[in-house]
Structure 1
Amino acid sequence: MATWIRSWMNGDEKQGEENELSGGNQDAHVPSAEELRQKRLERLATLQTSNSNEQIPIPTPAPISVPKEKQINKQQIHQEVPIAAPQPVVKQPVVKKKSLKRNPLHDVLSRILQVTLTPPGTNEYVYCQVVGDTINGENLSEIMYMRLISEDATISTLKYLFDVYQRSRMEGNNLLETELNVMKSLLDMTINYSVTCLLEPEMFPTPTTSTPLEDFDSIVRHPTPSTQSFLELVAQGLETQGGVAAVGRIVGPIFQKLVSEIFLGTQSLLAVEVWAPPMQTIGSLVRIKSFATVFVNMPGFLLTPPLNGRRLQDATALGILLRLSTDSPDPAIKDMFSNITKRTRNDVDKSLRNLRNELKFVHNLVTDIFKCLLKAGPVCKERVLAWLSQALEVNQEMAKENPNPALTSTAGMLINLSVVLLRLCGPFLPPTSTKHSLIDPTFLRASPNPIFPSDSTKLVQATDQITTTSKKLTDFNFITQCFYLTVECLHLGPIATMGKYMRLMRQLSYVQNLMTTRQEPQIQMQFDAMVTAKMIMDAKLLMPEFLHELVRFILLSADVVNRICLDRDGKSISSPLTLPLITHEQELLVPFVPEHIVEDIVNSLLFVARLAPQELGSFSFDNLLNMALIFLSSPQLIRSPHLRAKMSECLFEICLPPQESEDRPTLGLPSAVNALTENRVAQQHLAPCLLALYGDVEQTGFYEKLEHRYNIACLLKYLWKCRAHKPAFLLISQNQPAFVKFAHGLMNHINSLLTDALTNLPEIKALQEEAQSPQWGLLDQSVQEQKQSLLQEKERTVTSSLQLANETIHMMSYLTSEIQAPFLMPELEDRLVGMLNSVLVKLAGPRGLELKVANPETYKFRPKIMLREVVETILHFSDIQSFQTAVASNGLYDPTVYRKCLHILQRTQLIPPPAIASFENLTDTVEAIHASIAKDDQVFDDAPEEFMDPLLWQLMKEPVTLPSGYIVDKSTITQHLMNDATDPFTRAPLTLDQLVPNAELKSKIDEWIAAQRRQE
């Protein structure tokens, strides 16, 4: 625990000379009673004289619970609630004088000061003996002086003065303007004496029950409508009479005590009665600038070594205020969600509301404190910014998947801090605001960066030529500071917690499935514990207000990222978006951008779309769509294929109408769908970008690429239906290298998907039959569990593969309905035919019966639809002679399979009768060509070795020479380069433009073929 907390709890208020703001006692001569009295009289006489000459100007403070005051006037005086007068001790009965007519001012002042000029008798006020029988402006100072030095009153001096101040602000009905000036003078004297009482308590009689500092503490902790204005005036007086050190000596110990009470009192969010009062008191004190300065200069305000997130949370004032969350070690919080499976939904929702209400209370109080500190002047602002920088620096461990809890703050503390920062960003978050244009992206160029660690992965690799700056955080405007502090805090807190939440959800799903097969108490206990953990995370992470502000900030972040990509300094963009970008990435700020900034935009939107989709309904997604278009069309700006794939996933989840993906639900927000279909830049570039991305996701991993390609296939299918997007498909088909790469990947993918899925289906069928056989019960339980686990794994794999295969085969069908020419290029035609023949053999070949499993729709296995779409694709090329020849000469061609497909079509009418007739004609034609080719093959069997392709050992049609000197057929090497851009013989880098046609060899081959045919 911090040193200053220990000092306070041990009763040692002295903090040493190293920090004058902390206050402390110094050794001094202890005066006698007579010396004190004499000194008091001299001091008060001086004050009495000064009150008539130099008055402290009264500012216009803003009390906590009442409107801001402009000046003291009759209306304000009567707005106050009367304060009960104290009951002083009456010395002896007073003999009443003859009743005289008094003016209203006398009666008001008598009530305010609780004094009487009538000799002691039955009057309850303290008697003051002065000349005359009326209290007025001329004798007010003398009477005040006499009341203060009176040792007969039981109420302490400071409390008395505070009561006088309150009554002064409430009294004055029917007083004239000149009389109100007397009231003003009384307020001035009250504040002057209050300051003196705090700084020189020995000047006044003090009851043994409390000291002036204790009285001041009590006044602060029990606010009335007059408290805030009193504190502001006292603060001004303390600075005037004793400087900053005087303010620290009075207020410093109070701050220390309040913070220590929160630290030692509880860590439970539910113990509101313990932590709320001191936190509210801190909030009222820091509204006053000089008090706020004391707070930020307290010992321990900034973290001292050892530096880590746990100590920041437990040993700094702001950390202690922020640590109250659902993460606190309070069994009562877990009990709120115990036995959750046996409780009603209303009961669980009530528990969630209760937790969130307490969190909102914390957020409101701490946000108010931060705002006050940031507004309290440059010193306070700089100290708070320094603390915020520390909070992010010492919690970098939180960016890891499994951070060390001993070195980090809790996720709850960082989420609380994120809420505070989001609220500070509030003024520049709305899309209609122009303040966000003040965000300065050149902040990212600062090195070392005051927020982002130097080893963070950047969007692209920087070169040595890029220039950095040595600016500090405070060299930038507050909007820039606030924006980037929030970016990093969200990364370390809420967004990191979202990742843990999704992992917990996957674990819950696994355990829940396990419970269906194994009814064991341990599994039930594990499930209950995980559900409880989930609900506690729900309370802090899925608060609607927080998610709404998060989405606003994330969409603004997307706009800032777009500016960084489109302008060298990241300034506002006025010209229309033109893609692809031609500015070199090293000329932009892109090499300075941490990759996680873009990744957090995507991940947080995906999280909200899946867990709280209702929070996205009111937003526009143009900035998100533009960001995706920029990075997908200009891959040089982002090196991670995973992140580019994530962007397509985000578009799939948010922008795709639900009916366009029957296997995976989507949100399909109307505003997002409109952005997808109506955005002119998207109409030109989105489809080509997705076609290119379809091949690039090969690098993301086996299971990941299945999901990404499914998302891309669904998006492409929807865009194909949109008339405005159709020209982009036709345009990309004319870009031969790009389209060939896409089509080659598409066909490879269909083959691999069906091979994986249809190979596993017979194994699934065998495992299902075994589980239903009498022998199943004879197996050991461990063997049963192993086989059951294998079955579930194969079912998941088959389902994922077939989901994507369905969409991919459908994509091939609708693309080839209008785009045929690119597929007939030499490098694609054989590949296309091979894929189509392979699918037909799998569906209608000799082993087709092995694919019959129980409930095929469970695995998304739809063989009839698959066969229909493959046949439709074939029919798109059926009249083209080169295609007919390619089918007949393909090694996977089987005449019996084509005949069987024809019979299936005739029996089931999967396609219209005219189409069946076309397929029958194609079947007859291909059979005839196949017979002719078989004869040619016999003739070509003895072809010279130099005519044969060395890789596939078949007669070359278009020989080309590689840089290594080897000669291969062009179609062979082209297909190889689509998978591997190297020379297959030397492994040296190789591209298509390095292939040199071998005209001489081709001429020899053609002459030899002609000669062989003449000999037939």
Structure 2
Amino acid sequence: MASFEDYLIFFTAVNKQIILDEDNGELQIKTIYKPILQKVYDNILKATIIFLPHCEIAILQVFSAEPLLAKMLINDCYVPPTSSGFNYTNTVLGAIFAISGLPKIPGGIFEYFQKPMEELSGQLESNIWNGMENLHVQLHKIFLHLLKAGPEVKHKTLSWLGSCLEKNAGRCKLWNNEMSMLGFISDGFAINLSAVLLRLCQPFISNTDNPKLLKIDPTYCAVQIHNDEDSRERGVHLLKLNDSTMLLPVDDDSRENNKSLDKRPVAKGQFNFITECFYMTQKSLEIGFAQVQEKMTSINQELAIMQQTFVEAQQSGSATSEVMKHINDRMEGEMTKYLSMKAALLEPSTLYLLSQFQKATCVWLTQVVLDVNKDFQSSDLQSYCPNKFNVIEFPLPNIVPLTLKCIPEFILENIWRYLTLVRRFHSRSLEEPGFTLVSELLNTVLIFMTSNSRVRNPHLRARLAECLDCLLPHTDEDSSVTNSIGSYYREMLFLKHPHRKQIVYALLDVFVGIEMTGQSVEFEQKFNYRRPMYVVMDYLWKLEEHREVFKSLAKDAENNMEAASPPLFLRFINLLMNDAVFLLDEALTNMARLRQMQTAHESGQWANLSQRERAQNMSHLQNIGMTARFDNILGKETINTFKYLTSEIKSIFCHPTMVDRVAAMLNYFLCHLVGPKKKNFKVKDMKEYKFEPAEIVLNICMIYVHLGESENGEAFCLAVSKDGRSYNPQLFKQAEDVLARIGGASLIVGITNLSQKVSKLAIQQSNDEELLLTEAPENYLDPIMSTLMTDPVILPSSKINVDRSTIARHLLSDQTDPFNRSHLTMDMVITNTELKNQIDEWIRIKKCQK
């Protein structure tokens, strides 16, 4: 049988002879070979991922390798600029890309995994993977031949790839759905396109020290291309990337006001193929992998709801067989989609290349950040590629390269999506490459998390914090035992990585940054961002070296309580307290509402309602239950964080700025959970709602003991006694009774001792308050808290006197004067020594009179 080379030699010779013999040789070649291409296209349309069109692909490989036929092939695939993205599927190359285990058109039929509840999916998945790998290898050969077929064919091939990506960028829009996706290529096409581009990247992503990586120019996406000739001369075939959201915004809104005023650096020279291939691959991942991954997540959530509905319908016994069959059919349909998408995303050879690509991306991003010695204001630089591999050192350079204004956010988002994908479905792909991959990932996460000077978007920085959670040692999802090698690499990441001591600071900075951006971050979204951060903090606290960083930050905060900018750890615990109060309060409110609705349902009150009203009530009950579950999970996490922090960090929680709030929070929740109101939160299936009051009580009592037994314990006990809202003499006795029932006997002695201290101080405090507050002159009272000031300060703008601890607490969340909203920081307040002396003398006289 003739080889590929034999066919190539034969067709090359034939075409040369046609050119020699005919006046219009190229037209004759087109006339001869056009029917062949049409037949190839028709046959490809009938192919499947299991039964690939091997003969047709072989013909296209010959076409792509012979210069005249390659030109004809790429010309035949031309798609007019006014066409939709889907029209790329109607070309012979596009038709091959569309071969997949997923539907060829949005909303089409999923051909595989039709009986997901009955058949074993492993063998089918393996067959699909074999087909995908074979297809990708053959497509890669075709495009490699086209790119080597001469300058004109290379230009047209890159234009085809770039235009396909640009015309299908709408797949990334938030509004996409099955109907709106009809104008774009299919999910399978997009994933196959990524796989081929990843293979084209292989020469420069194989090693982290590959000098070819430094040939990627960071200013590619800032270029504005006006026509085809411009595209050819500049080496830019992926258009409109200059409109992307960049890591750092363009100065003075110039992009919106006047594009000619765009102050971003742009290389003057021609961009190389490595740069183009890199950015095309990044864009393909955004329109392909990212969208399918998002759909999978959505389907997974829908399946969980359907499963719950199915179980509830079974248990109630009221659902008809038709209803049960309908639910089951829907579950099967969604599971078919889920398994098909999972197979498409996790093809092993592509996943391996994706790991290599993301590792290379991390190395390149790091070098761009460290490349600070260029003249970024120059308009004559031929290239902005990093000159050499620089060593990472923290703190990072104060200079932030302006090239970050040219790099789209989706490049970092692709790293985040990759980590969330492999963590959930294929953790081995993160571990098998060895320590280098996870090490480079951590470098990049730390560099861009540590400050908003390199990434302005708080949502993106929060996603980088989620990347830390993905890098924690986890049990291998594919077995019941821990993957020892993978766990070893992940553990070493937090024990031996050269920049591991930056992790705690970076994590807390992002935690605070979500709240302090001045941008709108929805409550639920904010807590979703913080949820993985609690997991990472919990892990870090158990490692002595990282625990010492927490303690060092706390000590620094205590030493700088009145700094112009509140210290990081102080802002962190202030927000942690805000979260705890909000979440636990919401959780208890919703648990009480659940109890009321369950009681009404069980007592027969719903029986008198119409079917529509009963359905509405049931839907309302489910929504409240979901909200309560969410609040319970995160509320428990915040209290748990307080528990372990206060085990070794105590004095800052007892500082005058914080202690009253800490005491009031603990009293409020303990009162609700051990007092007479505790029965209001008892519902059916408490585990379903993740409501674990016993654990919360244990943790709260531990916090009481931690702070009550500290060096500053008296200040804490005094604050507990002063809380008139929730504290009463029976509170700790009620807590002791509950502790005895829930396995907290070891805490009873500590709580008893605390109770005695608090009772003694409460009596003393009551006498003092009665004496002082009833007779205190109004100008001695804090205008915000209505308490006697002990350390009055003057606010420079409004000239009003307030207690130092009161204004310090206010400025943690809002750096303005509360009386006129002018800017205010702690270093601006003026100590009112004269008023303090007057108050102290007045107190002394009153106590003597008593």
- The interval holding the TM-score normalised by the smaller chain is 0.7 to 0.9
Cα drift, residue 718 of structure 1: 1.4
Does the Cα contact within 8 Å between 1:982 and 1:991 map onto a contact in 2? yes
1:754 aligns with 2:579: no
- In the alignment, which of 70, 73, 93 is matched to residue 318 of structure 1? 93
Provide the rounded CA distance (Å) in 1 between the counterparts of 2:99 and 2:742: 67
- In the alignment, which of 577, 602, 605 is matched to residue 416 of structure 2? 602
- In the alignment, which of 422, 430, 433 is matched to residue 616 of structure 1? 430
1:460 aligns with 2:285: no
Cα drift, residue 1002 of structure 1: 1.7
Matches within 5 A, 1:932-951: 932-940=764-772, 941-951=774-784
- AA partner of residue 964 (structure 1): S
Moved more, 529-538 or 408-417: 529-538
- In the alignment, which of 419, 424, 437 is matched to residue 195 of structure 2? 419
- AA partner of residue 367 (structure 2): R
Aligned counterpart, 2:58: 280
1:227 aligns with 2:7: yes
Does the Cα contact within 8 Å between 1:367 and 1:420 map onto a contact in 2? yes
Provide the rounded CA distance (Å) in 2 between the counterparts of 1:397 and 1:555: 27
Instruction: Say which SS state the counterpart of residue 581 (structure 1) adopts.
Output: coil
Provide the rounded CA distance (Å) in 2 between the counterparts of 1:909 and 1:358: 58
Aligned counterpart, 1:788: 618
1:510 aligns with 2:305: yes
Offset from partner CA, 1:350-384 (integer Å, 9 cap, x none): 44444444444433332221111112222222221
Aligned counterpart, 1:153: none
Task: Select the structure with the greater relative contact order (CA < 8 A; seq sep ≥ 6).
Answer: 2
1:428 aligns with 2:208: no
Q: For residues 251 and 735 of structure 1, do their structure 2 counterparts lie closer, same or farther at Cα, with a shift above 3 Å needed?
A: farther
Aligned counterpart, 1:86: none
Offset from partner CA, 1:620-657 (integer Å, 9 cap, x none): 31111111111221222112222122122222133244
Aligned counterpart, 1:545: 349
Provide the rounded CA distance (Å) in 2 between the counterparts of 1:330 and 1:808: 43
- In the alignment, which of 778, 791, 807 is matched to residue 637 of structure 2? 807
Matches within 5 A, 1:478-877: 478-516=273-311, 517=313, 520=323, 522-568=326-372, 569=384, 571=386, 574-585=389-400, 587-619=401-433, 620-658=437-475, 669-670=486-487, 673-698=490-515, 700-736=521-557, 737-877=567-707
Does the Cα contact within 8 Å between 1:868 and 1:911 map onto a contact in 2? no
Provide the rounded CA distance (Å) in 1 between the counterparts of 2:755 and 2:702: 14
Provide the rounded CA distance (Å) in 2 between the counterparts of 1:960 and 1:271: 75
- In the alignment, which of 965, 971, 974 is matched to residue 799 of structure 2? 965
Aligned counterpart, 1:303: 79
Aligned counterpart, 2:30: 252
- AA partner of residue 147 (structure 2): L
Provide the rounded CA distance (Å) in 2 between the counterparts of 1:492 and 1:483: 15
Does the Cα contact within 8 Å between 1:285 and 1:292 map onto a contact in 2? yes
Cα drift, residue 423 of structure 1: 1.0
Instruction: Say which SS state the counterpart of residue 960 (structure 1) adopts.
Output: strand
1:65 aligns with 2:3: yes
- In the alignment, which of 47, 52, 56 is matched to residue 269 of structure 1? 47
Instruction: Say which SS state the counterpart of residue 392 (structure 2) adopts.
Output: coil
Instruction: Say which SS state the counterpart of residue 968 (structure 1) adopts.
Output: strand
Does the Cα contact within 8 Å between 2:445 and 2:467 map onto a contact in 1? no
Q: For residues 841 and 656 of structure 1, do their structure 2 counterparts lie closer, same or farther at Cα, with a shift above 3 Å needed?
A: farther
Provide the rounded CA distance (Å) in 1 between the counterparts of 2:647 and 2:415: 38
Cα drift, residue 539 of structure 1: 3.9
Provide the rounded CA distance (Å) in 1 between the counterparts of 2:849 and 2:160: 93
Instruction: Say which SS state the counterpart of residue 442 (structure 1) adopts.
Output: coil
Cα drift, residue 309 of structure 1: 0.9
Aligned counterpart, 2:730: 896
Provide the rounded CA distance (Å) in 1 between the counterparts of 2:808 and 2:411: 39
Does the Cα contact within 8 Å between 1:313 and 1:320 map onto a contact in 2? yes
Does the Cα contact within 8 Å between 2:86 and 2:182 map onto a contact in 1? yes
- AA partner of residue 995 (structure 1): V
Does the Cα contact within 8 Å between 1:740 and 1:828 map onto a contact in 2? no
Does the Cα contact within 8 Å between 1:683 and 1:724 map onto a contact in 2? no
Normalized against structure 1, the TM-score is what?
A: 0.71
Provide the rounded CA distance (Å) in 1 between the counterparts of 2:629 and 2:485: 24
Q: For residues 733 and 332 of structure 1, do their structure 2 counterparts lie closer, same or farther at Cα, with a shift above 3 Å needed?
A: closer
Does the Cα contact within 8 Å between 1:448 and 1:470 map onto a contact in 2? no
Aligned counterpart, 2:215: 439
Does the Cα contact within 8 Å between 1:411 and 1:493 map onto a contact in 2? yes
Aligned counterpart, 1:379: 152
Provide the rounded CA distance (Å) in 1 between the counterparts of 2:582 and 2:202: 50
Q: For residues 670 and 605 of structure 1, do their structure 2 counterparts lie closer, same or farther at Cα, with a shift above 3 Å needed?
A: same
Moved more, 568-577 or 801-810: 568-577
Cα drift, residue 602 of structure 1: 0.1
Cα drift, residue 907 of structure 1: 6.4
Q: For residues 836 and 632 of structure 1, do their structure 2 counterparts lie closer, same or farther at Cα, with a shift above 3 Å needed?
A: same
Provide the rounded CA distance (Å) in 2 between the counterparts of 1:877 and 1:281: 78
Does the Cα contact within 8 Å between 2:219 and 2:267 map onto a contact in 1? no
Offset from partner CA, 1:823-858 (integer Å, 9 cap, x none): 222211212222222222122222123233344333
Moved more, 443-452 or 712-721: 443-452
- AA partner of residue 250 (structure 2): A
Aligned counterpart, 1:150: none
The sequence identity of aligned pairs, in percent, is 29
Provide the rounded CA distance (Å) in 2 between the counterparts of 1:433 and 1:691: 32
Cα drift, residue 976 of structure 1: 1.8
Matches within 5 A, 1:109-148: none
Normalized against structure 2, the TM-score is what?
A: 0.84
Does the Cα contact within 8 Å between 2:310 and 2:328 map onto a contact in 1? yes
Cα drift, residue 259 of structure 1: 3.0
Cα drift, residue 387 of structure 1: 1.6
Does the Cα contact within 8 Å between 2:264 and 2:405 map onto a contact in 1? no
Offset from partner CA, 1:67-110 (integer Å, 9 cap, x none): x7xxxxxxxxxxxxxxxxxxxxxxxxxxxxxxxxxxxxxxxxxx
Instruction: Say which SS state the counterpart of residue 45 (structure 2) adopts.
Output: coil
Instruction: Say which SS state the counterpart of residue 735 (structure 1) adopts.
Output: helix
Provide the rounded CA distance (Å) in 2 between the counterparts of 1:761 and 1:332: 43
Offset from partner CA, 1:685-723 (integer Å, 9 cap, x none): 111222233333346422233333332222112111112
Provide the rounded CA distance (Å) in 1 between the counterparts of 2:427 and 2:10: 49
Aligned residues: 779
Does the Cα contact within 8 Å between 1:751 and 1:838 map onto a contact in 2? no
**Structure 2 unmatched runs, 5+:** 226-235, 253-261, 314-318, 373-383, 558-566
Q: For residues 489 and 64 of structure 1, do their structure 2 counterparts lie closer, same or farther at Cα, with a shift above 3 Å needed?
A: farther
Does the Cα contact within 8 Å between 1:580 and 1:630 map onto a contact in 2? no
Matches within 5 A, 1:394-405: 394-403=167-176, 404-405=180-181
Q: For residues 782 and 671 of structure 1, do their structure 2 counterparts lie closer, same or farther at Cα, with a shift above 3 Å needed?
A: farther
**Structure 1 unmatched runs, 5+:** 1-62, 69-225
Offset from partner CA, 1:294-349 (integer Å, 9 cap, x none): 433x3x443324143122332x44334433333226999645443443x322xx44
Provide the rounded CA distance (Å) in 2 between the counterparts of 1:558 and 1:436: 14
Q: For residues 463 and 584 of structure 1, do their structure 2 counterparts lie closer, same or farther at Cα, with a shift above 3 Å needed?
A: farther
Bigger-Rg structure (1/2) = 1
Provide the rounded CA distance (Å) in 2 between the counterparts of 1:714 and 1:970: 35
- AA partner of residue 634 (structure 1): S
Q: Give the aligned CA root-mean-square deviation in angstroms.
A: 3.2
Q: For residues 993 and 612 of structure 1, do their structure 2 counterparts lie closer, same or farther at Cα, with a shift above 3 Å needed?
A: same
Instruction: Say which SS state the counterpart of residue 405 (structure 1) adopts.
Output: helix
Instruction: Say which SS state the counterpart of residue 793 (structure 2) adopts.
Output: strand
